[in-house]
Structure formats: structure tokens, C-alpha cells
Amino acid sequence: MTRHYFGTDGIRGVVGQDPITPDFFIRLGFAIGSILVKNNRDEKIKHPSVVIGKDTRVSGYMLESALESGFIAAGVDVYLTGPMPTPAIAYLTKALRSQAGIVISASHNPFPDNGIKIFSEAGEKLPDTFEAEVELALNESIKTVLPHELGKAKRVDDAEGRYVEFCKSTFPEKLNLRGLKILLDCAHGATYHVAPKIFSELGAEVITIGNEPNGFNINLDVGSTHPKTIKEATLKHKADLGIAFDGDGDRVVMIDHLGLIVDGDQLLLVIAKALKAKNQLKGGVVGTLMTNMAIEKAFQDLDVEFIRAHVGDRYVLEALLEKGWSIGGENSGHILTLDQHSTGDAIIASLQVLKSLRLLNQSLHDATKDSPLYPQVLINVETHKKIDLEKNKSIQDAVRSVEEKLNNKGRVLLRPSGTEPKIRVMVEGQDIEEVKSYAKLIAEKVKEAS
């Protein structure tokens, strides 16, 4: 069935505009809650429970209250954590033996947006089939359960401490971060109160920026989507490296001591390289359609099997589970290390990179300098109508022309955004000026079609 609300990563949009409204979120809470009640009847669970967390957007208060009402009306108990990273909710859902976890966040999107992500009781992103079931349930009217069947709400007072200790437990006890000066950028988001503690308690000297959320400044010129800020801070403070998270703490980008950006592709390579050296790599590595060709070649040189999944960490997870492998990720900074956590976690991914650097006895710069990325240009084209990219002759003619000129030394990728009304045009090759001109050419054809 066609999905009206769910994109590649939950539901997302502008606050106050359908569907990011209080009335929709009450319906959404009731719809999800009703499904949980129905699915757990056989387990004889009187009241299924959900964990609800959020990032630092002021709209989170409104949407949290609406979701809470919907769940309670359906007969579901609610655990409230307050602002916590998305992967922390995945962890707490498992720790509290809840039937689902909900994160109110628009991730790396600007402040006016918000949305939700849903985790299963196993702390994993829910499959398309569940989302389809929710969409159907949203068509039903709210029928509040009998008064004695209503759910209850409770605040999880120790959520922060639980998650801090969990993250620290993923870093080997025999290793520490002493002697490292680390610049952290928390994007004025959900990691602001946990990340500095984790890295400093493991021994690093930590300097933190982007850790003063006011409800309105999440991702504003800081975080993984604005690496220029952490680059400047890393160089200014002469740090060994910089680590930038996005607003909800599931993406990470790093900066080496020379100010060079190290993206998710390169971080994945560093982790795989250390695991391979220690004969601890479980199978191969999963990337996405966006993974840089240079990284794919580097995996080949390491004799590490590499496959591409669709864009979106949920599809990376599906491929990892299907293969029985443990690591995968996206160039945007979503990195999954399934030996450590059930979902992508920016803090844990950073710790795995730091562990790898310790084991390789290298700096971040030394570990990545031999695998320079191919120039890659991404243009986001706003669209006003749905475009069938495969059937549009003008667009396909432009793509074929560019692919012929690249001559297997580059590639073209067109895909609709799963969270915004945009078509993403990506061209990759060995010459940056050529890549720019090719990307502009195809983007113009997409604009004409929109």
C-alpha cells in the first residue's frame, strides 16, 4: 500500500502543518498503542509499555503530551525520559522490557521541523509492514478503553546514567582515552548532557561546543551537518580530533587534527581495518548507494566483502541481519556496530573509531590519508510534483550521457528524499570540475520536470 505519513526514517515535517500537529499525534499514539495491545494479548501483558524520548526542540513538549494521551487512551503505559539521543531510546526500550520506543525528533533537520522514529522491543527500527499497519489504524476513530484499562505515565529518572554507563561499556576496559584532546560538537541537541560525560570519564580532555540548547537552536550552524564549525574549533584549540553529532545523536562526522573532514564512509573503513587486523571482522561491510567508490575500492584492497543497501540506516540494518554481519553505515554518519548496539549510535560509533585508532596505533589523519574520497557532488532539487525518474526521457538521456563520459570511473545516482519534497542528484568521479558540471546538467533536467 502507498504510505501517506511514513518516509525512510519515520514521520517528519514542519510543526503545525499536517501531520506534525497535536491532534494527529494523539491519533498516532492511539493507533500504535492499539496495535501493541492487540499484538500482546497472547502474551497476557495487561498493559504494554512504550518509552518516549525527544530531542531539544521546544515543540517536543507539545508532541510528547499528545502522544502520551493517545497511548494512555489505548491502554498503554508510558515511560518518559525527556531529552535523550535516539539510540538511547532504543537501548532503554530493551532495558525496560517495553514493547516499543518512540523518539520525537527531526534528527538533522532545522528547528521548525519535528517528527517521530519508532523502535521495536528489540531496539530496532520497525519494518515497513508495521508502519503500513499503523497507517491503516490511523483511519479508525479513537475509542478510549474503559477507565480501569487506561495506561499510566512514569518518568525514568535514571535514563541519563543508564545510557552513559551503557556507552562506556562498549569501550574495552583495558583501553582509555588519556592523552587525547577531543573537541565535541553536540549540535545543541540530545547528546548535550551525555556525550561530554562519556568521553571525559574514559579519560579524554574534552572541550564541548553546541551544548547549550534553548529549544530553538538545534542544528543551527553546528553539528554534523555544519562541519565548518567544529573544524574551526578543532584547529583553534589544537585538539587531536573533533567529533560532531547531529541533533538526535545517531549521526557522526569527525575532523582530524589538520582540519580535514572524515565522513561516515571513512569512519566505517577505519573500524573495519582495525577489526580485520585483529581477525575480529564478522563477514563483510554494508554501505549504501551513496557510499563513495574510493571506499568500495579500499575494501576490495583489504579483501573485505562489501555490498550496497538502499539509502537509510534501516536498510543497512536489514542487509546486516540478512548477511549475519556486524558493521555497516552511510556516508552521512549513520554507523551500525551490531556487536555493540541494535541501532546506529553516534557516540558508540565514535568510541569504536577511537578504539580502532588505539589498536592501530594511528592518528585519525594517518588512518584515513591513504583512502582519499572521489569528488562527490550532491544537489537537492525541490520538487512541486511527483516525478517518475525512470520514465522521464529528458532526465534519463542526461544520465546516460553523463555515465558514458564518466566511462566507469564515476557514477550517477538519482533518488527522491524520504523526508523532504526533493530529488537528490549525486554525481561522483575523479575530476571535481567535471563532476560539478555533470551534476548541474542533470539537476537542471530535474528542475524542468518539476
Active centre residues (catalytic): 107
Residues 194, 351 contacting (CB under 8 angstroms): no
Question: Measuring CA to CA, which residue among 32, 5, 167, 8 is closest to residue 99?
Answer: 32
Give the cell for residue 60: 517536543
Beta strand 376-382 pairing with 422-428: antiparallel
**Cα distance between residue 443 and residue 380, in whole Å:** 8
**Cα distance between residue 163 and residue 201, in whole Å:** 13
Give the cell for residue 389: 525518474
The single-letter DSSP state of residue 337 is E
The single-letter DSSP state of residue 335 is E
Question: Measuring CA to CA, which residue among 82, 71, 30 is closest to residue 49?
Answer: 71
Tell the residue number behind the cell numbers 500482546, with chain if given.
40
Sheet holding 335-337, edge to edge: 306-309, 285-288, 327-329, 335-337
Beta strand 49-54 pairing with 77-83: parallel
Tell the residue number behind the cell numbers 561522483, with chain if given.
428
The 3-state DSSP class for residue 341 equals coil
- Reported as half-sphere exposure (CB side, CA atoms, 13 A), residue 1 has a value of 13
Q: Which residues, including other chains, have CB under 8 Å from residue 258's CB and lie 6 or more apart?
A: 365
**Cα distance between residue 360 and residue 354, in whole Å:** 10
**What residue type is assigned to position 45 of the chain?**
I
DSSP tally for the chain: helices H, then strands E:
14, 18
